[in-house]
Structure 1
C-alpha cells in the first residue's frame, strides 16, 4: 500500500511517518509540505518520495490513503480534497476549526465512499481499552461522575521551530489553543469510555503564562477548566493546560456505583481499581505516549487495517465532530460566563 502525508511537521516526523514505515503493508510514503526542505528531509529519513505540489500528491492514482497532518485551519481543505480525489483519509485532530468545516469533510467522505478516520489516539492505549472493558462488564456498576486532566509544559518545545512563534499560539491557525490541542483528546476519550455524549458544559479559560515571539500574551487559552454533563446524567470535571511545567498529567478517574477506577495516575500501574469493599486491583499495562516518550500509538496500524478491510474504524468523522462540538461550546461558555448546551 502506497500512502501520502500532507504536512511534514513534528506529528509526521515522530508519529505518522515512523508508524507507516514500520507497518508491513505500507510499501512507500510520499511526503508533501509547503516547505520543500521539510518533505525532502523526511523522505530521506523514511526512504520515501517527495510530491512537489498538493496536486501531484492527490492526482497520484497509486496512492491509496493519505494522512492530513497540516495545521488545524487547513484540515477542511486538504482532507476534503483528498477524499474527493479517491483517497482514504486519516486526519489529525481537531477534525476542523468549526462545525461547518467538519461537516464539509464528512460530506466529502459520504460522497466519495472512502474511509475517514481522525487521530484521537487515546482510544488505543491498553489502559483505556481495559477501562472500557471493565465498564462494559458492569463489575463496578454504572459510572456516576468523572474527572480528567491533560497538561504538559506547552507545544513550543514540540513544534518544528522549537520556539514561542509556534502556530499553536495563533488563533487563526490553532483555533482554540490548549482545548483543541490536548482537551479534545480527553473529551473524545470520555465519549468512548462512557458510551455517552457530553451535552452541557461550563468553563473558565485564560492565557495565564504563555507569550508569543513578541512577548505578548498568546491569542488562545493556555489553560481551561470545565464542568461537563452527559446525556446519561453523569457529571464530570476536566482541566487542560500548557503550563504543567513539572511533569505531564494525562490522568482520569471514574467514580462508579461500586468503586473507583484510576487511569494513568501511577507510572508502574497504569490502571487501578478500588472497590467499595476495600479490594485494590492494579494493572501493569503500558506507559502512555508523551512528547518525550514516543511509542507506537496503534493509530496507523488500525487505519491501515481498516483500509485493507480487516477491521472497522475505531474513530469516525462523526465521533470527531461530536468532540469538536464540545470544544466549541466550552469556548463559548468561557467567553460568555454562561452554561452552554452542546446540541
Structure 2
C-alpha cells in the first residue's frame, strides 16, 4: 500500500484551478508532479503559482514523463475517453470529469480498460458528497418517509461564460467539443444524484431541450421527464439561463411526507411530514459555481484515499455510464420527439 500518491493534472481550466488543484494541495498524501494544457503558457503559470515542477503542452508528454500514479482528466468533454484510456493503458489511475464520455461506446471502452489494466476509474459526480445530499440519503434509507413516489430536481445558473476561464469563448458552447450543453453539464450531475438517492434505475426518458438565449449550437435549457424501474416519476431541469441566482435543489415526494434538499438557505434538508410536523437539518451549503464560495467537494479526497487504501471508489465507471445513458436518452428524445426507453444495463466486459 502506497503512502503517497504522485498526481498529474490534465487540462488547466476552471474546474482544475478551482476544484481539483486546491483539493489535491490540501491532501497530505499527494504530490502534484506535473500539469499540462494545450495552452502551454497557462500550464506554466499554474505550475509556477503552485510550485509544481513540470508543465507540458500535451497529455502524452505528461503521461510518458514517468513516476505518475494517478491523473485528473479535466479536458474538453470530447477528449475525456481517449485521454483516460491512454492513461489507464499505462497503469495510471484516472479521475475523469463528467460526462465521462460522449457516447456509450466510449464509456464501455473506458470501463473495459480499467478492468484489463487493474486500475481505478472514478467519475467526478460531486453531488453525492455534498452533506445535504448525504443526509437526505440517510433519511430515505431510514424508511421514515416510505417509498419515493415522485420528484423534481433542478440545477441552474447563468452559464459557462461566468465560470469558464475563457468566458464567452468557452468550449462549452461548441457542440463538437462539449457534445451537449446544460443537460450534459448540469443535468448529468442530477441524473447521477437521482440514481444514487433512489437506488433505482431510470428506464424511460422524455425531453424538451432548447436553446433559449445563448449564441450556441447546444442546449442552454433542458427539461427531461424520468421514470424509474420501480415506477417513480419525476422531472429534471438543467439550465444556463438562471441569471439572477444559482439553484441546486431537489424535492422528493414520498408516501409519508416530503423531503426538500437545497430549497432553504439555512436548512439544507427539510422534512415535511404528512401530519403537518417538520424536521429542519442545518447541514451546510450546497456547492456552487460562484467564485469565492468554493467548498471542499470531497471528490479528490475520496479519489486519493480509495487508491491509497486499495478500497476503490463510490462512483465507478458504471455509475458514470448510467448517468450518461440518461443524458443521451434525453438528447435522443428531443431529436425523435418521443419517449426513449433505456435498456437494462448488462455487465460490461
- Separation (CA, whole Å) in 2 of partners of 1:142 and 1:122: 22
Moved beyond 4 Å, runs of 4+: none
Q: Using the alignment, how far apart are the partners of 2:109 and 2:191 within structure 1?
A: 22
**SS at the partner of 1:308?**
helix
Distance in 2 (alpha carbons) for counterparts of 1:153 and 1:27: 35
Structure 1 stretches lacking a partner, 5+ long: 212-217
Instruction: Please say if 1:23 is aligned against 2:21.
Output: no
Gap runs ≥5 in structure 2: 344-349
Counterpart for residue 303 of structure 1: 303
Q: 5 Å matches for 1:149-228? A: 149-163=154-168, 165-211=169-215, 218-228=216-226
Partner of 2:73: 68
Structure 1 distance, partners of 2:236, 2:60, is 41
| Distance (whole Å) between structure 2 residues aligned to residue 4 and residue 296 of structure 1 | 19
Contact residue 12 and residue 46 of structure 2 kept, 8 A: yes
Matched, 1:77 2:75: no
Does the 8 Å CA contact 1:259/1:273 hold for their aligned counterparts?
yes
Deviation at 1:311, TM superposition (A): 4.2
8 Å contact from structure 1 (residues 252, 263) kept in 2: yes
Length-normalised TM-score, structure 1: 0.96
Q: Which stretch shifts more, 103-112 or 255-264? A: 103-112
Does the 8 Å CA contact 2:44/2:55 hold for their aligned counterparts? no
Match of 2:322 in 1: 322
After superposition, residues 107-126 of structure 1 pair within 5 angstroms as 107-126=112-131
RMSD: 1.0
Instruction: Give the conservation status (yes or no) of the 8 Å contact 1:152–1:249.
Output: yes
Cα distance between partner residues in 1 of 2:87 and 2:312? 20
User: Contact (CA 8 Å) 2:152, 2:235: kept in 1 or not?
Assistant: yes
Instruction: Give the Cα–Cα distance (whole angstroms) in 2 for the partners of residues 55 and 330 of structure 1.
Output: 34
Counterpart of 2:228 in structure 1 is 230
29-38 vs 94-103, greater mean Cα deviation: 29-38
Give TM-score, length-normalised by structure 2: 0.94
Tell me by how many angstroms 1:291 deviates: 1.3
Provide the C-alpha distance between the structure 2 equivalents of 1:29 and 1:162, rounded to a whole number of angstroms.
Answer: 28
Q: Deviations over 1:168-195 (max 9, x none)?
A: 1111111111100000000000000000
